[in-house]
Each structure stands twice: as C-alpha cells, then as structure tokens.
Amino acid sequence: MSLHNFKARDHFRHNVYPSPFHSRQKELNRLQEWSRWADYLSVPAYYSDSLEYFAARNTCGVFDLTPMIKHRITGPDALPYLNRLVTRDVTKIKPGRVGYSVWCTDRGQVIDDGTIFHLADGDYRVCSQEHQLDWFLTSALGFDVTVVDETHEVAALAVQGPTSCALLKRMGLTGVENLTPFGLAHFPFEGTELTVSRTGYTGDLGYELWIAPEHAEKLWDRLFDAGAQHGIRPLGSQALDMLRIEAGFILAGVDFLPAQQAVRPTHTRSPFELGLGWLVDFKKPVFNGRRALLQEKEEGSRYRLVKLDISGNKVARDSYVYDRKQTIAGTVTSAMWSPSAKASIALATLEMPHGEPGEELQVEIYYKRELKWSKVLAPCKVVDRVFWDPPRKRQTPPADF
C-alpha cells in the first residue's frame, strides 16, 4: 500500500492500519501471522520467537513501535499541566531527557503508565499503551495547553541489544554513543530529522528511533543495511514480551488493569501496589490522586507486585500462589522460562502482607503433555532484583562491536 493511501485512510471506517514499515515487515514475516496492537497490524513472530529473543540479547532486534499511542503536549502551561496530571515531578525531566511515570484517578488508581519525552521548552510527547486523549483533554481544563494525538504522525522503531549502538554509528549517527540512559538527541537523516532516545522495553542496551511516516521505509532500509554485520534481526511482540518479563517491566492489561477499564473498582491498582512508589512525589503540592495515595501510604496497601524465582522448568502462567498454610496469597500475572536466567520466573500480585523479599511460597502449575494435564506445586521465592540487568544497559559510551 502506498504512503498516499495510508494517509488517506478514514480512521472511522478502517479500524486497522498497516504500519508505515508494513512493506518491509511483510517481506520478513515468514510465518505470515499478524495480530492487532491498538490501531495497527503487528507481527507476533517473524520466524521464531525464541530466536528473535536471542537476537535481542546477543546482537540486535528491531521492533515496530509505531502502534504505541503518542500524544503531543505543547503550550505555555505544558509543564504545570503535566505536573498536575502525573505522579512524578516533571520539572526534573529536563529538555533532551525522557522520564517514566504513571497517572491516576482521584482514588489514586493507575490509569496507565508511559514515558514523557521533553523535546524542547513547552514541548512534550507522552507515550502510553492505551488511548488517553479523553482523559488528557479533560485534565487540561484551566491550562493554556494543546493536546494532540499524534500516533499516526510518528513512525518509530525500537533497536535493542548489545550491537545496537555500533550499528547506529555505522548508519552515520555521529555522537549517538554519547547518549546516556533516558537521553534523547536529534540527527539529520535523508533531508529530515530523526529523533533517537536511549530508551527501550527490554532491560538492555537499546534505542528508540522516531521519524515522520513518509521516511519510514528509508529508515528501515538504512538500519538493516548498517546492521548486516551486527546480527540485526526483526523482533516480534512475543519475543518482546519475554524480554520485558526478564527486565521486570509491567504491561497494562496483563500485570494491572487500567482504572478506566475496570468494572469493579477493587480490581485496579495503585502505584504502590505495582512497585512504583518511587514515582510518587508528595513534595508536589497537588496532582491527581495525591490525597488518596497519601492515605494509602499511611494506612498500607492491599497488594504487592513481586518477582518470583520458581523451582523446576514449568511455566507458571496464570497460576495461583499459595503461602505455607496452603492459603491463596495471590496470582501470577506474567510468567516464562527465562533462557538467560535458566529459570522459571514470574511477576505476581500478592495480597499484603505477603511479598517480602526472601519469602518462600508455592505456585500451582497446570501443564499439558501429549493431551494429558498434570499439576505440580512448585516451590518459589520472592526476589528483590530483576532477572536481567546487564552493566551495558548503563555504560556510556557503550562497548563497540
């Protein structure tokens, strides 16, 4: 499909878009399977989720980020507006920097999490899993600020893995090696501007590239040409899910239910219950959910999100977690066999007071082999650190490969 037709699509008549990178993805998608992410077609796996996972851990994997919801926030009150909207202190995110944050209802329940890109004075981009335009516009009342959904105006690729910096330098992005984690910079590219941020969802060395859709195919081609000697491979969503679990990153709709989607308000979570209390800054005089979160801090939370190291090699997907008295203590939200940790690992929501590091529990795992279902109660332990956190993630400049 030509770019002209892509731009001309009517959002209200065609509810699934091909990505600006679709022509290149289609050529590499050997499995010919497609899924939907927000308004776009997405690739679950190009050829093998396991091999794609290893590419991102050992060389470089490229994931299409275009479907991520992107909002542009500009105007004289952009900073005070964001500081009112989210829980962290946005004044600490200086121009040329990126910050992770969450935003909450007045009850202190998480609506979504995302990244805030400070592009220039009074100019921000907020990226999130879910559409947030209604909430952002409602929250803008009284502020001199403009909020625009620019999802379709920005194409993006995540370039993740130990050789990612080397191939970006080979592509001609001089100085990209000087970017520190959560930094961003702008580079000239084929007559336009390419924005590069040292961010990602893999817990490894990696970058995210942002460009206008009409230059998307050229970016893909230049990237893969430069990466030919650096083990570059396309990366599907299934492999990305494995990578983010090892890194301890949460996913909306999987590890927590966005507050605006909940039918039962007791099924939502606060930042403290997701292990994100460090993102709540009570030094700010006012922000959405401040009063409720202050009360929770004083009285205690209902739940705790933890990381589990599980005995054996069975994946504890959607499992119950039991304490020593064989009472249900919580549920597993994300699980996998980790090739890097050589262990069965999981993220789980436990009822308080469970979840202190070192606590020994059990998970109830059901698995099927040759049409026969079996059950095992596997011992597990709550661990404090994530399962993948290599030094190269922070090293500046990164090692050259």
| Residue list, annotated binding site for substrate | 208
The three-point CA angle 17-20-25 to 5° equals 95
Alpha-carbon distance 335 to 333, whole Å?
Answer: 7
* Cβ neighbours of 317 (radius 10 Å): 14
Phi, psi dihedrals of residue 330, rounded to the nearest 5°: 170, -165
* Cβ neighbours of 365 (radius 10 Å): 23
**What does the block give as tokens for 103?**
């935003």
The CA radius of gyration of the chain, in Å to the nearest whole number, is 21
- How many CA atoms lie within 13 Å of 261's alpha carbon, on the beta-carbon side? 14
* H runs (alpha helix) in 236-389: 237-246, 290-299
Packed helices 237-246 and 49-58: angle between N→C axes, nearest 10 degrees: 50
Q: Hey, what amino acid is at 277?
A: G
Alpha-carbon distance 124 to 116, whole Å?
Answer: 7
- Binding site listing: 208
Q: What is the dihedral of CA 201, 145, 133, 269, to 10 degrees?
A: 60
Region class of 342: left (phi > 0), else alpha (psi between -120 and 50), else beta: left
Phi, psi dihedrals of residue 246, rounded to the nearest 5°: -60, -35
